[in-house]
Amino acid sequence: MNPLMISAFSNGKPSDVRLGGTAYTKLNGGGKCPDFSFYSNDDPDVENRFFPVNGKGDLTAYPTVVIEVGYSESKWDLAEDCARWIVASLARVRLAIGIDIKYSFIKDQNDATVVGSRSLISIFCYTWEIEEITEHDELPTGEQVDVLKRADSVTRGASSRYYFFTRHEGELFRLQAYNRIKAQVRSFVSMCFSW
């Protein structure tokens, strides 16, 4: 099995995790700033913590867990952000958590939000992980390298699976991320405190 696949699917647990904040991280096909992140200090060896990006010799350290909060963005954009973290990091980001906050508010005659009028409707939490990594000899017809695409046939709304073709150390890979868990946070919190 390829070292990329072994690394992505290893069951090793980080022994030391630290807060990572919102630093810009280079990814294959671009870069992103998470809303929040955690890094594992399990292996302090620089050679094993920093990885090449885009085959250009640039190095980056990837967070172990990223959190993206969708307060004003669509569920679709939030899903794409979380999936991109997983696949464009070559599965070095082990878990992407998307938090979708929906609220209502009242606008005044000047189209400004009335102070104190916001009301929480719901909070949903989505977890994204790597589902599969496959090695390819050549890029399939119609596909592009370093472009995130839906892995389902649904054309509206957020997908539960996204994939990404990329090159790593001269080899072509297809990485697919999936939405493993969807939970309404308010009901979960109520359930925890109702005992």
pTM over 0.85: no
| pLDDT (tens place) for every residue of the chain, 195 residues total | 445 444 544 445 445 566 666 667 777 777 788 888 887 765 444 445 455 555 555 556 678 889 999 887 788 899 999 999 999 888 888 899 999 988 888 899 999 988 988 888 888 999 999 999 999 999 999 999 999 999 988 778 889 999 999 988 889 999 999 999 888 876 555 544 443
**HSE of 158, CA atoms in CB hemisphere, 13 A:** 20
Identify the pLDDT of residue 186: 60
- Tell me which H or E stretch contains 10: none
DSSP secondary structure letters along 92-156 = -S-EEEEEEEEEE--B-TTSPBPTT--EEEEEEEEEEEEEEEEEESSPPTT--BT--EESSS--S
Position 27, amino acid:
L
